Amino acid sequence: MSHIREHVLNHDLFCHHDHHRSYQEFDAEREEYDFRHVLGYASADLVTAAGTVTPRGPVTREEVERYWPKMRLTGYGRAVTLTARELFGLDYDPANFDAITAALQDSIRGRSAPEVYDYFVHERARNRWTIQDGKFRCSTTALEPGTHPESYRFAFRFDEVTYLADAGPIQTLECFLGHPVYTLDEMVQGINEAIDRFRETGKLAAIKIGMAYSRDLAVLDPTRAEAEAAFNRIRTRKAFWGGVQQNNAAVNAPEARALGDYLFHALVQRAADEDLPVQIHTGYLAGNWGSLAGTKALHLVPVLEKYRSVRFDLFHASWPWASELGAIAKNYPNVWVDMCWAWTMNPAESERALSEWLDAVPFNKIFAYGADTGLPWSNVGYSLQAKIGIARVLEQKIDAGYMDEATAREVASAIMLENGEEFYGLAG
Ligand SMILES: [Zn+2]
C-alpha cells in the first residue's frame, strides 16, 4: 500500500452532511433493521434496474434479489458492498441476506443508541464531526440535547419557505412559535425567531437550503410588495400534504416564486448577519424521477455575486456539473466545494472532479466528504468509498510529479478534516 493511501485510509473525516435518525427514532425501529437497511441510496438504483416492470420499485425480498445483481456495480451498489464487507466480512449477496441481518442485529444488540452511533460513526467510519441536516418541524425535539452524538452540529433547514405554494409551511412555523403569523413581516420575523432558538443551543452550524428538490435554483429579486401580495394569497390556501414534488406546478407559479425568492433572501441575509455558512444542495437529486435541469450550481451565480460576505458550502459536487462547480469555486472567493454524497453517486466522476479541482482551486476551499445517510452503519461504507477515491487521486498526483508525498498528506488532511473544522469553527 502506498504511503499516501495508508495516510488517507487511517485519517479522520469531517462529515459535512448527514440525515441521521435521532436516538429515539433509531430505537423505535431497532427490532426491524435487516439487510434492506444497509442499502441506503441503492434502493433508487434497484428502481432504475427494474425499469418499467415494477412501477413502485423493488420492495419485496424477491425483487431485491432479482435486481441487486444488476446494479451492484454502481457507486450506490459498491457502497453497500463496502459496508457489508467491512462490518460483517460478508458479500452483499442474496445468499448472505439472512446472515447480514443477523450480523447487523448482533452489532446493535446490547448497545444503547448512543453506543451504536459511537461505534459506527466515530470508531468504524472515523467521522470526527458531522453537520446534521435539521429539517424544521413543529416539534422542538431537534433543540433538545440527547438526540445525537456530541460531535454533531446542526444545519437549520426550513427551505419549504423558498417554494411554498400553500399555507403548509406557514402553519408549521405558527405551530413552532405558538402564535399566528398574519403578515409577510411576521413571517420573516418568525423564521428569525426560530433560528434564534436553534442558535441558543450552541449547536447551530449553518443554514441549509435543499430547495433544488422542489424548484430550480434561479433566484430573482422580487419586491416586498410582490412577495406580500403572494403571501396574502398563499396564507389562506389550504395545505397540500400530498408530497412536495407532486406539487411542482403550484410551486412554480409566478406568485409562489415571488414569495419563495423573497424568503430565500431573508434566510441568506440572516446567515450574513450571523456569519453562518449557507449549505445549498446542487446537482443530482436522490431517488428517481427528479427534475434535474434546474439543479446546477451555475444558477446560483447572481446569489453568490450579491452576498459576497456569505460563505457558501455548495453540495454534492453539483454532479453532473462538477467542472462548472470547479470554475465557480475558482472565481468566487465566497464558495467552498463539497463532495458530500458525490462519491457514491458516481465514483469515477468524483475522482475526475477532485483531480481537476485540485488543479484549479486552492485546496483549502475543498471539502472531500459527507455521507448523507440516514443510518449510522452506512457511514462505514460511504467513508471508505470516499477514502478510496481520495487516495487514488492523490496517488495519481504524486505519480504525475505534481505533489510529493508530504504535500499529498497535507492536502489529504486539509480536504478530509481540517478545512471543515476551520470553516465551521470546530477545534481539531
Ligand atoms: Zn442530504
Q: Are residues 74 and 141 in the same domain?
A: no
pLDDT confidence bin for 248, thresholds 50/70/90: low
**Inside any domain, residue 59:** yes
Q: Are residues 293 and 412 in the same domain?
A: yes
Dist. CA 54 → ligand 1 center (Å): 26
Asked whether the beta carbons of 423 and 340 are under 8 A apart, the reply is: no
Dist. CA 401 → ligand 1 center (Å): 36
Q: Are residues 51 and 119 in the same domain?
A: no
Q: Are residues 90 and 126 in the same domain?
A: no
Dist. CA 370 → ligand 1 center (Å): 9
* Per-residue confidence (pLDDT) for residue 169, from 0 to 100: 93
User: Among residues 90, 108, 126, which one ends one of the domains?
Assistant: 108
Question: To the nearest whole number, what is the mean pLDDT of the chain?
Answer: 93
Q: Are residues 289 and 418 in the same domain?
A: yes
CATH number of the CATH domain containing 78: 1.10.2020
Tally of domains in the chain: 2
Q: Containing domain of residue 330, as a range?
A: 3-24+112-423
Q: Are residues 218 and 338 in the same domain?
A: yes
* Per-residue confidence (pLDDT) for residue 392, from 0 to 100: 98
Dist. CA 342 → ligand 1 center (Å): 11
| Residue 244 scores a pLDDT above 50 | no
Find the mean pLDDT for residues 197-218: 94
Q: Are residues 63 and 15 in the same domain?
A: no
Dist. CA 316 → ligand 1 center (Å): 9
Dist. CA 361 → ligand 1 center (Å): 24
* Per-residue confidence (pLDDT) for residue 144, from 0 to 100: 79
Q: Are residues 194 and 292 in the same domain?
A: yes
Task: Provide the greatest CA pair distance for the chain.
Answer: 64
Dist. CA 152 → ligand 1 center (Å): 15
pLDDT confidence bin for 2, thresholds 50/70/90: confident
* Per-residue confidence (pLDDT) for residue 54, from 0 to 100: 66
Dist. CA 233 → ligand 1 center (Å): 31
Higher pLDDT, residue 238 or 319 = 319
Residue 77: DSSP 8-state: H
Dist. CA 18 → ligand 1 center (Å): 6
Identify which of 45-54, 125-134, 228-237, 251-260 has the greatest average pLDDT. 125-134
Dist. CA 20 → ligand 1 center (Å): 10
Dist. CA 345 → ligand 1 center (Å): 12
Q: Are residues 250 and 345 in the same domain?
A: yes
Dist. CA 215 → ligand 1 center (Å): 16
Dist. CA 226 → ligand 1 center (Å): 31
* Per-residue confidence (pLDDT) for residue 245, from 0 to 100: 44
Dist. CA 373 → ligand 1 center (Å): 7
**Inside any domain, residue 428:** no
Dist. CA 10 → ligand 1 center (Å): 25
Find the mean pLDDT for residues 293-311: 97
Q: 390 pairs with which residues across the strands?
A: none
CATH number of the CATH domain containing 298: 3.20.20.140
User: Among residues 108, 137, 170, which one ends one of the domains?
Assistant: 108
Dist. CA 213 → ligand 1 center (Å): 11
On whether the pTM is more than 0.85, the answer is yes
- Distances in Å between the Cα of 90 and the Cα atoms of 70, 102, 336 are 19, 11, 37
Dist. CA 101 → ligand 1 center (Å): 26
Find the mean pLDDT for residues 394-402: 98
Dist. CA 182 → ligand 1 center (Å): 32
Dist. CA 347 → ligand 1 center (Å): 17
What tens digit of pLDDT does each residue of 135-167 get? 898 877 767 789 999 999 999 999 999 998 889
Exposure string for 227-250, b = 16+ CB within 10 A, e = fewer: bbbbbeebbeeeeeeeebeebeeb
Q: CB-based contacts of 389: which residues, under 8 Å, 6+ apart?
A: 343, 347, 350, 351, 354
**Inside any domain, residue 266:** yes
Dist. CA 398 → ligand 1 center (Å): 33
Q: Is 423 exposed, middle or buried (0-12, 13-18, 19+ CB in 10 A)?
A: buried
pLDDT confidence bin for 250, thresholds 50/70/90: low
Least confident interval from 12-16, 210-214, 377-381: 210-214
What tens digit of pLDDT does each residue of 25-62 get? 999 999 999 999 999 999 999 999 988 876 666 678 98
What tens digit of pLDDT does each residue of 338-393 get? 999 999 999 999 999 999 999 999 999 999 999 999 999 999 999 999 999 999 99
* Per-residue confidence (pLDDT) for residue 255, from 0 to 100: 73
Helix axes 42-50, 61-71, angle to 10 degrees: 90
Percent of the chain beyond pLDDT 70? 95
User: Among residues 73, 93, 108, which one ends one of the domains?
Assistant: 108
* Per-residue confidence (pLDDT) for residue 22, from 0 to 100: 95
Give the count of beta carbons closer than 10 Å to the beta carbon of residue 357.
26
